[in-house]
Amino acid sequence: MRYMKHTRTYSILSIFIFLVNACGEPKTGTSKTKRPNLVFIMSDDHAYQAISAYSDHLIHTPNIDRIANEGMLFNNASVTNSICAPSRAVILTGKHSHLNGKIDNLSPFDTTNITFPQILQNSGYQTAMFGKLHFGNNPKGFDEFKILPGQGDYYNPKFITPKGDTTITGYVTDIITDLTLDWLKKRRRPDQPFLLMYLHKAPHRSWLPAERHYKEYTKKTFPLPKTLFDDYKTRGEAAKTAEMNILDHMVLNYDNKVLPGVIGELQIEDRKLHDPLKRMNASQKSAWDAIYNPINEEFKNAYPTMGDSTLMVWKYQRYMQDYLGTIAAVDENVGRLLDYLDDENLSDNTVVVYTSDQGFYLGEHGWFDKRFMYEESFKTPLLIRWPNKITPGTTSEEMVQNLDFAQTFLEIAGIIPPSDMQGKSLVPLLMGQKEKWDRDAVYYHYYEYPAEHAVKRHYGIATKKYKLIHFYYDVDEWELYDREKDPNETNNVYNNPEYAKIQLDMKLKLDTIRKKYKDSDSLSNGYLQLYKDKGWIKP
Ligand code: SGN
Ligand code: CA
C-alpha cells in the first residue's frame, strides 16, 4: 500500500464532526439495519451522448436506462473540473479541487482529506470498491478493494489489493463485475448496510472493446455531429490550440488501430504511443486480427485518395466503433449487477447511481477527450434509482454536480455531513421536493496545463441560461455563451453589445461564487507555483 505524505492540517471542526459521526449511530432517520445500501456505478469518460436514456442516436443502453426508467434522469448534471482523478477527489471529499488539493491527474491526493466512505464505514456501513480509482493512492475507508493501477488495462488487467497485486485473465469490464458480484455473493454481511463503489475503466482511451462487441461494432456507421468541422471562429486561443482534434491529434495506430506496417507503407507521420494491444494473449490477439486486419486492408487501399474531410470522417467512425463497443460491455455488466440486486431482493432498499467521472467529446467541435468547461465535457450523465422514494421515470433539470454526491450519500445514511463539505444533498430533488432546492449557478475550475491535449487553465460559472469562462495563465481571455440560443456553443458573445448587461451580471455572479466556494487568484497562483517548482513551466 502506498500513502502520500500528509500535507494538510485538519480543520478542528471537521475532526469534531467526523468523530461525532464516527460514533456509529445515524443522526436522523430510521434504525441502522434499515439504512439503504448505496451502489455507486461510475464509468470513465462515458459521454451522456452515449446513453440512450439521453439520446439513442449512437447506442442503445437498455440496462443503464433502467436506472432512469425506474428512477430519475438528471439533464443538467456537471463536474467541477473535467478530468479523472480531480473528479474522483471531488466526489469523495465533497470539496472543490482548490480546497481538496487534487487539482490535476499529476498531483498527489492529500490523504488527510476526510472522504464520505470513511464516514460511512465509521458509522457502520460495510464498504467495498472494485475497478478504476486512478488516484496514486489506495482508497481509505474501504473494508475491501481491488483497484486497477493508474489507468489500468482492458485485457488481462492487473489489480492492486490490500494483499498485493494480482493479474486476472479476461476483459476488464467483465472482470470488475465478476469481482463485484463475488463480493456481494460471498462477503456481504446481511446485517450491515453497504456502500459499493463499482468503477469501470471503459470507455477510456485507447477504447478496446471485448471480442463479442468489436465483431458487431466495427460494422456500424454513426451519424456525424453537427460541429465535427468546427472552425472555432468566435473563440479565443484555448479552443484553437487544444490538441484533441480527431483529424490532427488522434493517433492512427494507438487510437484507430491502424497497423504500424500500414502506416509505414503509406508514409504517414503518426505519433508513437505504446502498443495498445500489447497485453493481449495469443488467442485474444488472433481473434482481434481476424476483424481488424481487413479494416487495415481497406484503409490501405482508400487512404491515397482520401482528402482531409474524408480522413476526418473515417477516423471519427473508427473512434465511435471502438468507443461505443466498450460501452456495450459496460451496459451488459450493469444489467448483471441490477439483476443480482433484484434476484436477492436487495433492489428495494438500495440506491443505485450511474455516472461518469466527466463528459467526453464524441466528435463535437472536431474533438475527442474532455477538460473544457464547454458542454460535452462539463455535463456528465447522472441517473439515480431509489425505489419508493424517487417516482419512476422522472427527470430533473436542476444544476447538480459531482460535488453533491458526498452529502447526498451521508444524508441517505442519516449522517450529518462535515460542515466544510461544499456540495448540496440531492435528497430533496430525489423526493420530488424541488422547492427545497435553490441553487442558481455552478462553479468550474480546470488546472492541468501545460499538459497532454493542451487545454488552457480556466475557471467559470454556469447558470441555466449562460456560461462565462475565463482562460488564464498564458492568456487572459473571456468567453460568454447563451446556452439557450446557442446550445452547441459555437458563438462566443463576450463583448457583444447585446449581451453587455448579461456579461456584467455574470461577472458579478462569478466573483460571488468564487468567494462562496473560497477560490481566489492567490490559490491559482499557488497551484501554478507547483508546476514552476517541478520545472513544468518557466518560473
Ligand atoms: C491519458 C490519455 C489522455 C487522457 C488522460 C486523462 N492518453 O493520458 O488522452 O486525456 O489519460 O484521462 S493515453 O495515451 O494514455 O491514452 S483521465 O480520464 O484519466 O483523466
Ligand atoms: Ca476520465
Model pTM score: 0.94
Model confidence at 378: pLDDT above 70: yes
Residue-wise pLDDT for 387-408, tens only, equals 999 999 999 999 999 999 999 9
Instruction: Show the beta-strand stretches assigned E in 123-267.
Output: 126-132, 144-148, 158-161, 164-167, 194-199
* CB neighbour list of residue 3: distance below 8 Å, 6 or more residues apart: 111, 137, 138
Give 59 Cα–ligand 1 centroid separation in angstroms.
23
β-partners of residue 466 are 482
Would the CB of 263 count as within 6 Å of ligand 1? no
What is the CA 523 to chain-centroid distance, rounded? Answer: 24
> Do 227 and 364 contact (CB within 8 A), yes or no?
yes
Which of 10-14, 40-44, 76-80 shows the lowest per-residue confidence on average (mean pLDDT)?
10-14
CA–CA gap between residue 16 and residue 12 (Å, rounded): 6
CA–CA gap between residue 370 and residue 377 (Å, rounded): 5
**Per-position b or e across 368-389, b if 16+ CB within 10 A of its CB:** bbbbbbbbbbbbbbbbbbbeeb
Backbone angles phi, psi at 198, to 5 degrees: -115, 100
User: What stretch of H or E contains 466?
Assistant: strand 466-471
The DSSP secondary-structure symbol of 321 reads H
Q: Which one, of 468, 461, 327, 486, lies nearest residue 401 by Cα? A: 461
Which of 82, 102, 151, when mutated, tests ligand 1's pocket best, judged by the most ligand atoms within 8 Å of its CB?
151
Dihedral angle sign, alpha carbons of residues 217, 220, 221, 222: negative
Would the CB of 204 count as within 6 Å of ligand 1? yes
Amino acid at 479: E
Give 467 Cα–ligand 1 centroid separation in angstroms.
26
H helices present in 303-416, as ranges:
308-343, 375-378, 405-412
Amino acid at 91: I
CA–CA gap between residue 316 and residue 319 (Å, rounded): 5
Question: For ligand 1, atom 20, which residue shows the shortest CA distance?
Answer: 84
Residue-wise pLDDT for 128-179, tens only, equals 999 999 887 789 999 999 999 999 999 999 999 989 999 999 999 999 999 9
Residue-wise pLDDT for 487-513, tens only, equals 999 999 999 999 999 999 999 999 999
CA–CA gap between residue 126 and residue 375 (Å, rounded): 37
Which of 106, 204, 256, 326, when mutated, tests ligand 1's pocket best, judged by the most ligand atoms within 8 Å of its CB?
204
Amino acid at 77: A
The mean pLDDT of 26-47, rounded to a whole number, is: 78
3-state helix, strand, coil in the chain (%, to 5): 40, 15, 45
Would the CB of 205 count as within 6 Å of ligand 1? yes
Q: Which atom of ligand 1 is nearest to the CA of 204?
A: 18
Residue-wise pLDDT for 304-333, tens only, equals 999 999 999 999 999 999 999 999 999 999
Backbone angles phi, psi at 371, to 5 degrees: 80, -40
Model confidence at 30: pLDDT above 70: no
Number of H helices, E strands in the chain: 17, 16
CA–CA gap between residue 380 and residue 382 (Å, rounded): 6
Cα dihedral 32, 36, 37, 43 in deg (nearest 10): -140
Q: Which one, of 456, 519, 531, lies nearest residue 98 by Cα? A: 519
Query: Which grid coordinates belong to 150?
Result: 493508474
User: What stretch of H or E contains 513?
Assistant: helix 500-516
